[in-house]
Structure formats: structure tokens, C-alpha cells
Chains A and B, each alone.
Chain A
Amino acid sequence: MKPAAERFHEQADRALDLVQLQGALHRTTSRFVDLRLAAVSERPDWESLRTRARAARLEAIAHLDRYLEQFEASVQANGGTVWWARTAEEACQHVTAIARRRGVKIAVKSKSMATEEIGLNHALEDAGVTPVETDLGEYIIQLAHDAPSHFLAPAIHWTKERVGDLFARTLGVPLTTEPGELTAIARRTLRERFLTASMGITGANFAVAETGTIVVVENEGNARLATSLPPVHVAVIGIDKIVPRFADLDPLLSVLPRSATGQRLSSYVNILNGMRRPGETDGPEEFHVVLLDNGRSRLLADPEARESLLCIRCAACLGVCPVYRRAGGHAYGWVYQGPIGAVVTPGLLGVDAARELPFASSLCGACRDACPIKIDIPRMLLHFRKEAAELPPEPGTVGRWPLRVAGWVMASPARFRLAGRIGYWLQRAAGGGQWFAPGPAARWARWRSVPQLAARPLRDLVKDR
């Protein structure tokens, strides 16, 4: 079987048949879009904020080597330790080694796409550490051994009935389908985990080179608990999360929550400078940062796709994308979903591992308009489409010969006229209607209708006038 990121069409087909999922996608994405537009409308300087936020991200990426070194030095000056990881495996090794050294049995995690990307939970389990996801949506997903379907709302495809059943089955609590009670159950269960865990694991929305500060934005309070109670805090951060200056947090924190959930500011913004200082009563005794490459430097080396590294994972592009709104997150087959996922996934994994994703777009440009960093996602989708088209055809597909034939026919007016006449007579003989395409072309033909060819083409009608 092909890896999940290579099976977009198959997975999207399945999603289209799920009535509950379609309702959840419509409800969630519409709500996020409405909230975002209302929040944006309050800022007459929104365009200027976008420009400033983009400039900060561009500056970071354009001098990434310098800012990474500065960030490392700043974290060390704050008393923290920086680990560098070229691959997912290396990042997992760093985290598990810290856990082993500290004798960690339970690690509480806040929502982090970087740790999902590297498969950290499996690595921790293999090392004898129990990882506990503490964001409510992620907790549901972890208990169910499922995968997140949205950056911000990972369990949008779960109904309250299914959550109630899941909690009753896995936690041994009485069955309830009332969301307030379900949330209270999660709070009680996870509070005990927070109080006994000896490691807290987070990602970061931003990492400030100038001060060694990391910023974790959240709404539930779980990231704050995970960075306050356990004696060890490990932050797994992609090298693309660097921002140069502390002052850059102003435009970036101004656009992120507004674009994500339509909030002026998220409920909890944790601006963290490492471990507790002398006299402070909580916060970790040890602070570690794992700087993760895992394909990012390769993406940086592609001038046409480098812009995707500016992304701040607000998910605004998901909400406005007509493809994501129907296909949902699982169709994208990996951690990163929606229009930005259709660029980042082939960028990080290679186009051959995700060749269908650049085509998972209507190229309408709504993602580019919604993006608070003004990332030109359609341009990069076209770039990856070109790269995908240059790959050898997949076994069992028709490859590029139909387009070559069509190009040859259309290159000559005589051939084009002749093809039109033949098409008309074939269509009459077949009775019109759906395409009939055998074998590998059947998938292409499934959703397409034949245009009715006229008995007399337009050019003949024009001649008669």
C-alpha cells in the first residue's frame, strides 16, 4: 500500500461519503472563517500588521543560520540546553535520552505538530515512558489511536456520542454524552497526570533569537501546566520557528490568534525564558530545546518553495479552502493538512512521497488572501505540480500520453476539426452522457461529464452568417 500522503484521492473519496464528517467540517470551518473575519475587521491596520508579520518571518528565514546560532547562545545564557536533530529519529533519541537520564515514567504533552511529525509518542513508549496528550482534542485522538484532522481542532470528526463511549470504555467512567461532563472527566483525569508527570513536552509557536524565549499559545491551560509542574521541560521546535527579535512578537501574536480562532489574543500566551530562576516557586528545573531540521533545510534550498517556511500554522488557509472543507484533514495523510499541508508535505517528504497533494487544490487563491503572512500558496502548488509531472508515471496510471495526444491534436487546426467530427459521431453512437474510460483512466472519468459536441461547430455557424 502507498504511504498515506500519497493516497489523497482515495482518502478524500472516503471522506466525501461520511455524512457526519461533512457536517462537522462545514460547521467548524465556517465558524473559524466568521470569527476570523470579525476579528480582522476590528483592525484597520490589518494589512500593515500582515506586512510587519511577514517581514519578521522573512528576515528570520533569510538569515536563518545566524539566528539559529543566536537562539542557541541565548537559550544557553538562560541556563537551558539546545539539542540539534537532523532527522525525526535523532530528535526522538534526544528526548528519550533526557527522559532516561531523569528516570521519567510519565510525560505530559501539549499540542505540538513537530512532535507529531517525528512520531515522538511511539519513541517514548518504546523507551518505557508514557506520553499523555493533554489538549482535550489530542487526548481524545490518543485514547482512540486516531489521527488529528485539523491543526486547531484535532477531533472535529468526533461526535459527543463517540467521545462518551470512548471515555466509558477507556477510562471506566459512567457513560455520558454531555460535552460539559466529558470535559470535566478529562480535567480530572489529566490533572492527576500533570501532578505526577516528571517531564513536560511542548512545541513552540515562536522562538526568539535575541532572548532565547519560546512562545507557546493555547486556550486550555494545559501547556501552562505542562511547563510549570514537571521538573523537566522539553520543547521540540522546527528550525523555521525562529524570529529575530522580541519586538517581532507584537505583529506575530497580533495576527496569529485572530487568524486562527478569531480571538484578539488566545486565553493563555506563555512567554518562556527557560527554567525557573532562584526564588521562583514553580517552573521546570531543567529546560531543553530540540531544534528540528527533518527536511526543513532541504525545503529552504528550494527557492520556489522556501516561502512555505514562513507559515505560523494558524490554519486560516484550511478554513477557506474548498478542497479541505470537503475532504477533511485525514485525506492529506500526514501531520500538515489543507493548502499549506499540500505544499509543506511534498517539501519535507519529497514530491515522490506526496505527489497527489499539490493537485488537491482548485488554485482559487483564497488561501493566499486569508494567510496572515501573505504566503503565496498557489504559486508553490504549481511549482510542486510541475515537479510531480516530471516524475515517472505511477504504475497503473495512464501517465502523460493523453495530454501529449491532446496537445498534438490541438496544434493543428485540421487535426482539431477532424477530432471534433469524430468525437461528435462517436458521441452519437454512444448515446452521450458519462465518459466511458477503461482501466487506469476510470478514476479520472468517474467525476467528469462529457460536454455535448454540437452537430455543427461554432466556426461553421459563424461562417454562415
Chain B
Amino acid sequence: MSRDRILADVRTALRLAMPEPHHHPHPDWPVAAPHRWPSLLAQFRERFEGLGGRWHDAADRAAFDRHLITVARQHAGLVWVARDPDGLLDRLGVADTLAAAGVDVARAFEGPAQADRLALSITATTAAIAESGTFALIPGPGQGRLSSVIAPAHLTVLDPECVVATLGDFIRQAEGALGSRQVSAAILVTGPSRTADIEGQLLVGVHGPGQVHCLPAVGN
């Protein structure tokens, strides 16, 4: 049986000690002067925009709703408003606001027939990583893995409280969720879908969204 043979081969191999590694520390890594941001949210925003992400600032709920409607109309077509596990999008009335503005809204991905009509997906971020401008989604009923890649544009609603400083902070947070085996994935998004496979020219939107928007939640 291959399993037993492989494990036996590995055990036999491990009886031979590996020589102590030679240490060749690189003495001259260049180090840039550290930058201080007024807040994690400010750092996240700078990094997110640096990747080509579009940031929308809303001072109050009315401005939040205006931004939602403006982005949805920019990407004319069907808008998929996910059902995030924490219910943030429902508390903010995102689907209702868009429907009232005459936007065609879906609350679930209904398969291939719908894919061509999708213009925008809207999700709620579970966590955001300031150092890289990354946002994370933990899939659950109504907000799956696809919500970040299926539409040509993606808007995520960000609770400013959920921004963490580093990838390590996020890994420590996600460990509990994934370790419990209750969810099937944690998916990270850092800017738009990109490729440089043709002559090194950087292009966005190759498979996933070419535009990624972030709208901080207000009054949730």
C-alpha cells in the first residue's frame, strides 16, 4: 500500500541526520525608514488605494447610501448583495437601499445563467489587514468564496473596527474559525485580479474583478 511505503521511506530517510545548516545571514538588506500612520484604518486605506482599490468615505448614513447607489449604477447590471455571517449588510439595509433606487439586486448566486448578468458583488469584510491593504472574507451561508471573484467589480463594506495591523494578527484570528472546522475557508483579497503574463504588462481583471471598492460602514 502506497501510504505505508511512503511513510516507511520517509522514516528510513529521517534516520540519516541532516548536517547543521551553514548560516549565511545577508548583512546588507536595505531597510526603508518606518512610516507611522494615524490609525490602522488610514494605513489600510493607503495600501488599498496603492493597489488600485477605490475608497469611498461616508460621513453619515445618507452619504453611505449615496456611495452605494453611485457605485452600483457605475457598474450597470445585476448586483449580488451577499448575506454576510454577521448580518452587517442587512443591518445597513444595503439590498433595500439599492432596490429602492431601482438597482436590480440578487441575494444569492444562482448559477451559470446568472453569471453573465452580474456586474457587481457586495460583501462585508470579516477582517482587514492594514500592512497589505488586504480584506478577508470567511465564507458562510449567503457569502461564499465566489462573491470575491465572480463579478467584474467587487465592493466590500468594511467595519472600521475589524482592521488588524499585520498578517500575523489575522492568522491568529482565523486560526480559531478554521481550527474549529466549522467553516470551509478564509479567503483574502488584496487589490484587483491581476496578471503580467503577456510581455510583463500589468493588467487587471483577468479572471476576478478589475475594480475593487471599499466603503467603510457608518451607523451599523
Chain A residues in the interface with B (C-beta under 8 A): 24, 27-28, 31, 37, 40-42, 44, 46-47, 54, 58, 61-65, 68-69, 72, 77-78, 84-86, 90, 134-137, 140, 153-156, 158-160, 163, 179-180, 182-184, 186-187, 190-191, 195-196, 210-211, 213, 219-222, 224-225, 227-229, 239, 246-247, 249-250, 253-254, 263-277, 279-283, 291, 293, 297-298, 300-301, 303-304, 306-307, 365, 368-369, 374, 376, 379
The reply on B60 being an interface residue by CB < 8 A is: no
- Partner of B47 from A54, A136, A211, A264 at Cβ < 8 Å: A264
Contacts A47-B26, A265-B188; A160 near B199 (Cβ below 8 A): yes
Contacts A40-B30, A265-B190, A280-B144; A300 near B185 (Cβ below 8 A): no
Q: Shortest Cβ distance from A111 into chain B, in angstroms?
A: 10
Q: Shortest Cβ distance from A147 into chain B, in angstroms?
A: 15
Cross-chain contact A277 with B184 (CB below 8 angstroms):
yes
What class of interface size applies to chain B in its complex with A? 35 or more
Q: Which of B1-25 contact A (CB under 8 A)?
A: 1-3, 5-7, 9-14, 16-19, 21-25
Cross-chain contact A267 with B29 (CB below 8 angstroms):
no
Cross-chain contact A219 with B145 (CB below 8 angstroms):
no
Cross-chain contact A62 with B18 (CB below 8 angstroms):
yes
Q: Shortest Cβ distance from A351 into chain B, in angstroms?
A: 17
Which label, helix, strand, loop or mixed, suits the secondary structure of the B interface? Answer: loop
Contacts A136-B197, A220-B207, A297-B13; A249 near B184 (Cβ below 8 A): no
A137 to B197, CA, bound (A): 5
- Partner of B29 from A41, A246, A265 at Cβ < 8 Å: A41
Q: Shortest Cβ distance from A132 into chain B, in angstroms?
A: 13
Contacts A268-B188, A283-B184; A306 near B18 (Cβ below 8 A): yes
Cross-chain contact A41 with B208 (CB below 8 angstroms):
no
Nearest opposing residue in chain A for B142, CB measure: A281
Q: Shortest Cβ distance from B43 into chain A, in angstroms?
A: 11
Question: Can you list 24 pairs linking A and B with CB atoms under 8 Å apart?
Answer: A28-B200, A42-B32, A46-B31, A62-B14, A136-B195, A163-B198, A184-B205, A187-B205, A219-B193, A219-B195, A221-B208, A227-B145, A228-B144, A265-B167, A266-B190, A267-B194, A268-B187, A279-B141, A282-B145, A291-B6, A297-B10, A297-B13, A300-B14, A303-B19
Q: Shortest Cβ distance from B25 into chain A, in angstroms?
A: 6
Cross-chain contact B183 with A271 (CB below 8 angstroms):
no
Cross-chain contact A220 with B167 (CB below 8 angstroms):
no
Q: Shortest Cβ distance from A93 into chain B, in angstroms?
A: 10
Nearest opposing residue in chain B for A291, CB measure: B6
Cross-chain contact A190 with B139 (CB below 8 angstroms):
no
Q: Give every chain B residue within 8 A of A68 (Cβ-Cβ).
A: 6-7, 10
The reply on B101 being an interface residue by CB < 8 A is: no
A307 to B168, CA, bound (A): 26
Q: Give every chain B residue within 8 A of A24 (Cβ-Cβ).
A: 199-200
Cross-chain contact A365 with B24 (CB below 8 angstroms):
yes
The reply on B99 being an interface residue by CB < 8 A is: no
A104 to B25, CA, bound (A): 50
Contacts A239-B10, A247-B172, A282-B145; A211 near B179 (Cβ below 8 A): yes
Cross-chain contact B26 with A213 (CB below 8 angstroms):
no
- Partner of B5 from A72, A86, A227 at Cβ < 8 Å: A86
The reply on B134 being an interface residue by CB < 8 A is: yes
Most buried by A among B181, B184, B192, B208: B184
A272 to B188, CA, bound (A): 11
Q: Give every chain A residue within 8 A of B145 (Cβ-Cβ).
A: 224, 227-228, 270, 282-283
Q: Give every chain A residue within 8 A of B134 (Cβ-Cβ).
A: 264-265, 269
Cross-chain contact A220 with B195 (CB below 8 angstroms):
yes
Cross-chain contact A276 with B184 (CB below 8 angstroms):
yes
- Partner of B183 from A44, A61, A84, A273 at Cβ < 8 Å: A273
Count, A-B residue pairs, CB within 8 A: 276
Q: Give every chain A residue within 8 A of B18 (Cβ-Cβ).
A: 61-62, 303, 306-307
Cross-chain contact A281 with B171 (CB below 8 angstroms):
no
Chain B residues in the interface with A (C-beta under 8 A): 1-3, 5-7, 9-14, 16-19, 21-26, 29-32, 34, 47, 108-109, 112, 115, 129, 131-134, 139-146, 148-150, 167-168, 171-172, 174-175, 178-179, 181-201, 203, 205-209
Cross-chain contact A271 with B34 (CB below 8 angstroms):
no
Contacts A47-B29, A220-B193, A281-B141; A246 near B179 (Cβ below 8 A): yes
Nearest opposing residue in chain A for B196, CB measure: A153
Contacts A182-B198, A300-B10, A304-B19; A37 near B30 (Cβ below 8 A): yes
Q: Give every chain A residue within 8 A of B189 (Cβ-Cβ).
A: 267-268
Nearest opposing residue in chain B for A251, CB measure: B168
Q: Shortest Cβ distance from B78 into chain A, in angstroms?
A: 15
Cross-chain contact B132 with A265 (CB below 8 angstroms):
yes
A222 to B206, CA, bound (A): 9
A182 to B197, CA, bound (A): 11
Cross-chain contact B146 with A271 (CB below 8 angstroms):
no
Most buried by A among B5, B22, B129, B188: B188
Cross-chain contact A282 with B144 (CB below 8 angstroms):
yes
A274 to B6, CA, bound (A): 23
Q: Give every chain B residue within 8 A of A140 (Cβ-Cβ).
A: 197-198
Cross-chain contact A376 with B22 (CB below 8 angstroms):
yes
A369 to B115, CA, bound (A): 46
A174 to B143, CA, bound (A): 38
Q: Give every chain B residue within 8 A of A210 (Cβ-Cβ).
A: 179
Cross-chain contact B175 with A283 (CB below 8 angstroms):
no
Q: Give every chain A residue within 8 A of B30 (Cβ-Cβ).
A: 37, 40-41
Cross-chain contact B187 with A263 (CB below 8 angstroms):
no
Cross-chain contact B6 with A86 (CB below 8 angstroms):
yes
Q: Shortest Cβ distance from B15 into chain A, in angstroms?
A: 9
